[in-house]
Structure 1
Amino acid sequence: MAYRFCTLLAFGTAAFGLNAVQPRPPKPEAINVVELPLPPVAPSSDEGACTATINPRRTGCIGISVGNFQAGDFTPDGKHVIANVEFVGAPAAPDPASIYTGSHLILIKADGAKFSNGDPWKCLSCGVPAQNAISLDAVRDYPHVFRSGTKALWGHNILDCGGVDLTSDRCTPNRTSIYPIHWPTTADGSGAGGVPREMRLHPDDVHMGWSSFTNYGGQFAYFGRLQFNPNPTVGLPLAPRYDLVNVSVLVDGSGKAPISASGGELHINRDAIMVGELRGFSGAGDEILYIGPSWESSNIDLFAVHVVTGAVRRLTSHPDYADPIAFSHDNQWFVTMDTRVSERQMWMAAMRWVPPLVDIVAVTVASSTRNNRDRRFFQPILIDRDGDRGDYYGQQVNAGGDGSPGSVNDPNWNGRADPAFSPDGTKITYWQALVVSPACGGENPLPCPVSSAQGGRSYRVMLARLTGRKAKQPAKVLKVPEYIPWAVPFPPGATVPSQYKLPAGDYILRGSVSGTANVTLTADPTTFSGIGGVAVVYNNYSDQAGYVLNGHEQVSVKILLPNVWDNLIDWNSDLKETGVVNATKRTSAGDFHLQINAVTNIFNANGTLTTTVDGVEYNQPANGT
């Protein structure tokens, strides 16, 4: 079974899994992609480098490198896209242009029009009086427009234009206020509170979801309500702010784990809820979107869990890595950034329906090798709400280019977080970053490309028009209960619940169709899971009709403390799969050894791990690439 990629990404038959009957997939549709305008680029960050020659209207210049740039979603009219930019080169005060310096929130025209000052962009946060932005938080990422259109989420801040649309000329600096977000986590409410990351706004404009790391390297996701506090008397900052209240930690309150042990047997529980990294919400707000425990070995996927019922469904199943995701407002489509076009992860994940056993110790490999430093290999993929299934693996949004430098599908321009739909579902926006050193050039065998963007900048914002679509009305937004019924309440002073850990020992895992797997788990208290090694022998094992697995695999991990993100992996594999496919997954003599840091994502290996499917061989990346 050769994997094939085209405008409509597809491969295989019966690959969706668990023999489920799925709706007929949609046909490919016409998509036109263009680049949106940004402020002009200054040649340096030196004071005064943003001259009147570069920007005659003296409304700011941005830098060449990505810096803190990040694009977000649309305003309610679908004609503007929000973004965080880093202004550089402004003259010193009292020059009026001095306000265009540092990280700021802007709107970009997405319809070819201009704002009243003649620019196709407008700065929302520039020039806001200090008394209107007391204790502005330094985290200013993942910009998101409230569906009301009068507010914006800006990292750990909320920008509010006092009831006026952000797009209006009446939304002026003097009218604008910026409030920090505070997460009270101590019993008495004191202190700076918790540290949320990658916050996402629920469609009801009231609730939020976020992730947060523990001090030992674990990650949990949370859900809570925004409550304005005009005069706080406890906790920092003591300034008007938004507090996160009625918080739940998004773990299965029943205690069910993705893999559990009892009576000498292992059980894979695909209905278990474990929101590893929260990525947003469905268009109706009825589902939480997240990266969850793998259903297949080395295959990192996106999942959705219903806010009320806790029903889990798998959205992506392609062997490559999917991460940022956004649903359409009508709840019928989603777009994800994915490595499936580049086939980056096929060397370790192309063999289907291998249970996620070695992932107990090797999940960092699967989640980290998707990148080479800032080279992300992501491209935007459009998929209907029912997700990957059968021969349907979505449609590459930007497939329409010729692949040349600077084209819309130039592989050196990598997709970043987050994509977004216009409210009527007819447009998609996403942003990309160009590969730069050290992910290319110097000691890296890959040469660095030359930017074709204005001023040579290494980032751009794209607009995809779904030209055959008619405007759709947004779905009715779910009224969220006070607390998530299946989750665990997390009031101030609470600690994260202890997670189930598999005991070391020898086990049997029975295939849902046939066969068995003999599994040995070796203890290591320095790892997050408490397991340092997994050895498996498969005997006619099958979880999916037509996919029969035999052979063995053994993987161990060593955490290179004190850095909990730095892993040393030793991998031995000799697997064979027959039936629908003829596939193998094998390591070289002397095995495969990889050191990978989940933060820096630098591939450094000895030996090889190769997966072959119906004669098509997928080899691991070379070191440093």
Structure 2
Amino acid sequence: MALVLALVGCSNSGDDAPNAPASAAAGGVPAPPEPEPVEVSELPLPPVAPSEDPGACTKELNPRGTGCVGRDASMQSGGFLPDGTSVTAVVTFVGAPAAPDPGSGYTGRQLIVVKTDGTTFPNGDAWKCVTCGVPDQNAAGRNEPMDYPQPFNDGKRVLVGTNIVDCGTHPIADAACTPDQTHVYPIRWQNTPDDSGKGGNLRELRIHPDDVHLGFNSFTLTGGKLGQFAYLGRLSFNPAPTTGESRGPRYDVVDVTRLFDPEDTQPVEVDPANPGQLRVNPGALAVGELRGFSKDGKEVTYIGSPTESSNIDVFAADLTTGEVRRLTAHPEYVDPIDLSPDGDWTVAMDTRGSDRQMFLAAMRGIPPVTDLITTSVTSSTRNNGQRRFFQPILIDRYGDCGDYSGQRLNASGDGGPGAVNDPNWNGMADPKWSPDGTAVVYWQRLALPPACGGANPLPCEESTEPGGRGVRMMIAKLTSREPAPAPKVAPISDEVPWGVKYVPGTPPPDRPHPPAGTYTLPGAKGGTATVEITYTEDGFAIGTIAVTYDGFTDDGTYVIDGTEKVSARNPSLTVTTVDWFSDLTGTGGGVTATKKTSPDGFHLTIDVMTNIFDATGTLTTTINGKEYKQPANGT
């Protein structure tokens, strides 16, 4: 099926972020919005226990006996309930008294609901634990993952990890939603022909706005390398399963479609009309990791293959037509996002402003050829272990454009310890819009050792939160906005025309790459890139890509010359090592850019699961005299 990129905004033009070549925005794109007023405040959480020892959560700390969290206990904020005045979160309770004390149920990772309007629940708490004390028989087969808490639009159910918390006829936030009325149902995906076993691996689940369909990702292992595909399926309640594990009531994911077709157009491929040439198709449906859906239910959002080399962005694709929109284009890294109820805005957790990724991606307009083997590496440098460099960024529908690169929601403050813009407090996943589009909730974690202190040049900071808590949940209110709620969404079709129906038991497909050989990649407006692709000795994967640019230009103004060569190998399942040699220049349109490695090259080994930077040699990008250098090892 032929697909084209929807050129509806600057993010799709490729000339749309700091240090990009200057050019006009795509036709019909309005002027970027002016910054708008934002009020940021913190939402309440349970009190902090001094330790995880049983009974450490005393009546003095919590007179109501409704639990405590730890100083460094993990949490994750989620989405708003339909009432617009409460938001879901997952916290880890510690220090509960032993049974039969009524407070003994406030232990472990649990779903809570937090008030956002300054009111309280009937017991006087500004938060309510939904899953604490749920009887075992109401949670038979409950799965361990408890993350990404997302309410259904009916307000009576919440997707949490690979479970659905269901309060029957009662809204989750209502006083009538008590533990005995609450059920926790596991979610299962059939992955064997006879429907035996525990089911397929599900991760990063996202509920579709129709309350019926579910998007998710699943890891693959191919040729000793970790990969993943994204899927869309329909949730079907199964009250009495006769196959698979477990046999208690559960939700089955049925009519599953893999959001990928190996026979379809690929991001970088051999031109079928010219076998000696490559072509780059920015409209290819290269769904990497599914991130969610538009509020009208028509689009799926995802991290896709780069449009520009080393620049990781988020895209949206129409589930019916396959039309693709590039939502972000800044050279920094973006991952967690949420589209506004009216569809006109994106809130993104992005590293922009930190310069974390600029040594790799600041030089714009380089076609994503070496990215065939470097994407896992370039995306993994965004973090320093548990320290992220994300901040919440508000971006209009037309995306990064010229000097416009969105508005940081928490820009106000003095930057000192505990301030809303304290750089030691980093955004996590996922930011979420309120139902009326007038507020965004997000959560942050304070940098802790070894991501600060000791050998790390970033000094550690003492938490100013109650009890020294190292996590916090924030709300950014867009005070000048009028409510603009999302439309009610009818159930969508199970069919995704550009996807492929999943057949249980079939192996995942390979992501196609151009065969080994030497190719020409023509610039859209002139010049060429000569690309040499060499496979590994076993012939299974690309091992080296070498590119020579000669007057390469896609816009007729900005011209790239020079060479780049990258080799990649995988010492283990999640570890990638690259040997990178770059000597590139870009000139024109008021921009002078270089991307250069040291004479001995840049050599990086990084684990995609831990994100600890460990390199020898240097890779430096310079834009109009400003140098962007790589992070120090271990930072």
TM-score tier by shorter-chain length is over 0.9
Counterpart check, 1:576 vs 2:585: yes
The match for 1:79 among 60, 85, 95 is 85
> CA deviation digits over 1:151-194, x for unaligned, max 9?
00010100111121111111111111110001011111111110
- Is 1:17–1:544's contact at 8 Å kept on the other side of the alignment? no
Q: Does the CA contact (< 8 Å) of 1:15 and 1:389 recur in 2?
A: no
Structure 2 letter corresponding to 1:46 = D
Q: CA deviation at 1:443?
A: 2.4
* In structure 2, C-alpha distance between the alignment counterparts of 1:219 and 1:170, rounded to whole Å: 41
Q: Which of 420, 431, 438 is residue 443 of structure 2 equivalent to?
A: 431
Aligned-partner residue type, residue 177 of structure 2: C
Q: Separation in 2 of the partners of 1:280 and 1:118? A: 34
Task: Report the Cα distance in structure 1 between the residues aligned to 2:83 and 2:388, rounded to whole angstroms.
Answer: 31
- The 5 Å alignment of 1:118-517 reads 118-216=124-222, 217-252=226-261, 254-262=263-271, 263-477=275-489, 479-517=491-529
- Offset at residue 100 of structure 1 (A): 0.3
Cα gap change, 1:138 to 1:12, in 2 (>3 Å):
same
After TM superposition, give the deviation of residue 493 of structure 1 in Å.
2.6
What does the per-residue CA deviation read over 1:79-134, in whole Å, with 9 as the maximum and x for residues that have no partner?
Answer: 11101110000011001110101111000110011110010000000111111111
Encode CA deviations 1:440-491: one digit per residue, 9 max, x unaligned: 1222222211111111111100000101011113134364212111100003
Separation in structure 2 between the aligned mates of residue 320 and residue 15 of structure 1, nearest angstrom: 18
Q: Which amino acid aligns with 2:515?
A: P
Shift of residue 497 of structure 1? 2.6
Per the alignment, residue 6 of structure 1 pairs with none
2:627 corresponds, among 617, 620, 624, to 617
Q: CA deviation at 1:526?
A: 6.8
Indicate which of 557, 567, 578 corresponds to 1:556.
567
Partners of 2:70 and 2:556 lie apart in 1 by: 54
Distance 2:455 2:18 in 1: 36
CA contact (8 A) 2:19 2:364 kept: no
Deviation at 1:66, TM superposition (A): 3.7
2:605 aligned partner, one-letter code: Q
Please tell me the residue identity of whatever aligns with 1:153. Answer: L
Pairing 1:102–2:108 present = yes
Shift in Å at residue 254 of structure 1? 4.1
What is the one-letter code of the residue matched to 2:30? P
Match of 1:605 among 615, 618, 622: 615
Structure 2 alignment gaps of length 5 or more: 1-15
User: Quick one: which amino acid aligns to residue 390 of structure 1?
Assistant: G
2:535 maps to 523
User: Take 1:386 and 1:190, find their aligned partners in 2: how far apart are those partners?
Assistant: 47
| Aligned-partner SS, 2:103 | helix
What secondary structure sits across from 1:118 in the alignment? coil
1:533 and 2:544 aligned: yes
1:29-48 paired onto structure 2 within 5 Å: 29-48=36-55
Q: In structure 2, what residue type is equivalent to 1:396?
A: R
Asked if 1 retains the 8 angstrom alpha-carbon contact of 2:259 and 2:500, the reply is yes
- Name the structure 2 match of 1:589: 599
Q: Tell whether the 8 Å contact from 1:253 to 1:486 is kept in structure 2 after alignment.
A: no
Q: Is 2:62 the partner of 1:51?
A: no
Deviation at residue 543 of structure 1 after TM alignment? 1.9
When residues 266 and 339 of structure 1 are mapped into structure 2, their CA distance, relative to the original with a 3 A threshold, is same
Q: Secondary structure at the match of 2:140?
A: coil
1:385 Cα offset (Å): 2.2
CA distance in 2, matches of 1:54, 1:607: 52
TM-score between both structures, scaled by the size of structure 2 = 0.94
- Work out the CA distance in 2 between the residues paired with 1:548 and 1:10: 17
Structure 1 residue ranges (4+ consecutive) displaced by more than 4 angstroms after TM superposition = 12-21
Cα distance in 2, alignment partners of residues 618 and 241 from structure 1: 51
Q: Deviations over 1:421-458 (max 9, x none)?
A: 10001110000001001111222222211111111111
- Whether 1:22 and 2:34 are equivalent positions in the alignment is no
* CA 1:101–1:526: 2 relative to 1, 3 Å: farther
What letter is aligned with 2:188?
Answer: H
User: Does the 8 Å contact 1:15/1:391 carry over to 2?
Assistant: no
SS in 1 for 2:551: strand
Instruction: Report Cα offsets for 1:557-600 as digits up to 9, x if no partner.
Output: 1211xx22211211111101010111111111211111111111
Once the two structures are overlaid, the 10-residue window that deviates more, 253-262 or 567-576, is: 253-262
| Contact kept? 1:526, 1:559, Cα under 8 Å | no
The answer to whether the 8 A contact 2:21-2:588 is kept is no
| Residues 97 and 131 of structure 1, relative CA distance in 2, 3 Å threshold | same
SS in 2 for 1:106: strand
**Does the 8 Å contact 1:225/1:247 carry over to 2?**
yes
Q: CA separation in 2, counterparts of 1:313 and 1:20?
A: 15
% identical equivalent positions: 54
Structure 1 residues 587-621: Cα deviation after superposition (integer angstroms, max 9, x where no partner): 11211111111111111111111111111111111
Other structure's SS at 2:404 match: coil
Q: Are the counterparts in 1 of residues 17 and 401 from structure 2 also a CA contact under 8 Å?
A: no
Structure 1 residues without counterparts, runs of 5 or longer: 1-8
Which residue of the partner structure matches residue 544 of structure 1? 555
Letter in 2 for 1:530: A
Kept in 1: contact 2:239–2:248 (CA 8 A): yes
Amino acid at match of 1:84: V
Deviation at 1:336, TM superposition (A): 0.5
* Between 288-297 and 256-265, the greater mean CA deviation after superposition: 256-265
